[in-house]
Amino acid sequence: MIKITYREAVRAGLREALQKDPRVFLMGEDVGRYGGTYACSHGLLEEFGPERVRDTPLSESVFVGAGIGAALGGLRPIVEVMTVNFSLLALDQIVNNAATIRHMSGGQFSIPLVVRMATGGGRQVAAQHSHSFEGWYAHIPGITVLTPATVTDARGMLLAALHEPDPVFIFEHAYLYPMEGELEEEAGAVDISKAVVRRRGRDVTIITFGGSLWKSLEAADRLAAEGIEAEVVDLRVLRPLDGATVLASVKKTHRAVIVDEAWRSGSFAAEVSAQIMEGGFYDLDGPVARVCSAEVPLPYPKHLEDAALPSVGSIVQAVRSMQGA
């Protein structure tokens, strides 16, 4: 095992992909000379050259579209969008081209494209750069949506995504980049079709993904000190959603709390809640609860940002309320 940060794990995945497959190239804003906004591509330009690590203009629609074209032409592009809010400028390319070309061509063309982007709040970058739009993308048929929360997944999901014939969108919570974790030296691609139970429990299931995983695990530890054993399910893959793992856990614990950093209204948490009600209603001992961000643009001041985001305390309180505490 080696100790490594989340950003180093992403970089290791990028380096391995570039080394192993000459069709792979990385492009995006500041990925080359600057080394990446979050230092995930630091040193790769010097190692692989400007043909494989390409700085792009500040035009998301153009370089995401170029990635789609390169994928159609037989390459394996990895497109980095600096933050999730900037991806909105490329929605036409994503929704109307990347997600639909296989369907509209009758299966004649595929788009083996990987798009990575930073997501999430908690870093005092204000309302425009703190969105959590993973649930929006999970609404779109034709793409896969991944939310790696561990160093193993940060590296392994990228490697797995490059073997997919259709577009894969990877949402890396920016708060995780400096986080350290252990990675097996021989670790390779990971399964990008399954959720993972990160902590076993018997009293309640906490369902989450991305940056909220670590808050949920800390909340589970606090609850354990009170005699409440929470099971924590890391969804990891939002589309296609592994509903079977979620329902199996709820069947065991009979209670569910969903933690999602997006706004509550129309959130991915609402979709998970609906699937639990449809597939596991008679296993529940009470209503499904959701812990989401406040219905406001995320504030810049630290104390207000913390108040608006899901917290360890708000997760603990949601579980206590279920238990009648």
For 152-194, give the DSSP string: HHHHHHHHHHTT-SS-EEEEEEGGGTT-EEEE-TT-----SS-
Over residues 180-188, mean pLDDT: 87
Over residues 153-182, mean pLDDT: 97
User: Which of the four pLDDT bands, split at 50, 70 and 90, describes residue 185?
Assistant: confident
User: Which of the four pLDDT bands, split at 50, 70 and 90, describes residue 307?
Assistant: very high
Give the pLDDT confidence of 294-305 residue by residue, as tens digits: 999 999 999 999
> How many alpha carbons lie under 13 Å from residue 94 in its C-beta half-sphere?
26
Examine the pLDDT at 195 and tell me if it is beyond 90: yes
Give the pLDDT confidence of 207-243 residue by residue, as tens digits: 999 999 999 999 999 999 999 999 999 999 999 999 9
Over residues 141-168, mean pLDDT: 97
* pTM metric for this prediction: 0.96
DSSP string, 85-127: GGGGGGHHHIIIIITTHHHHTTTS-----EEEEEE--SSS-TG
pLDDT at 273: 98
The domains of the chain, with CATH numbers, are: 2-183 (3.40.50.970), 196-322 (3.40.50.920)
Place of tokens 């808050």: 215
Residue 231: partners with Cβ closer than 8 Å, 6 or more residues away:
197, 199, 200, 201, 202, 204, 205, 206, 220, 249, 252, 253
Nearest residue to 200 (alpha-carbon basis) of 177, 182, 217: 217
Examine the pLDDT at 16 and tell me if it is beyond 60: yes
Give the rounded percent of residues in the chain with a pLDDT score beyond 70.
Answer: 99
Q: Which of 60, 80, 271, 305 is catalytic?
A: 60
User: Which of the four pLDDT bands, split at 50, 70 and 90, describes residue 277?
Assistant: very high
* Sign of the dihedral through C-alpha 70, 25, 112, 101: negative
Residue 39: partners with Cβ closer than 8 Å, 6 or more residues away:
7, 11, 177
Measured between alpha carbons, how far is residue 131 from residues 100, 123, 124, 194, 319 in Å? Answer: 25, 11, 12, 25, 25
pLDDT at 325: 52
- Residue 129 annotated as catalytic: yes
Q: Which of 8, 129, 261, 271 is catalytic?
A: 129
- Check whether the bond before 297 is cis (ω within 30° of 0): no
pLDDT at 73: 96
